[in-house]
Amino acid sequence: MLKYICVPCGYIYDPQIGDPDSGIAPGTAFENIPNDWVCPICFVGKDEFEPVK
């Protein structure tokens, strides 16, 4: 599973960790996160994230 970076702030979404504070369980692929999820640091939407190469 790919990691994704928030372009505005640099937060890395790691699917192995998830985002437990937002109810995203470890092992959740970025594609499977609900569309209304936002970056836990700067609160932008999923459309502001890019895959980490």
Please give the annotated binding residues for Fe cation, written as ranges. 6, 9, 39, 42
**Residue in the structure block whose two tokens are 């502001």:** 48
Integer-rounded Cα radius of gyration of the chain: 10
- Tell me which amino acid residue 6 is: C
Binding residues: 6, 9, 39, 42
- Asked if residue 22 lies in contact with residue 28, where contact means CB atoms within 8 angstroms, the answer is no
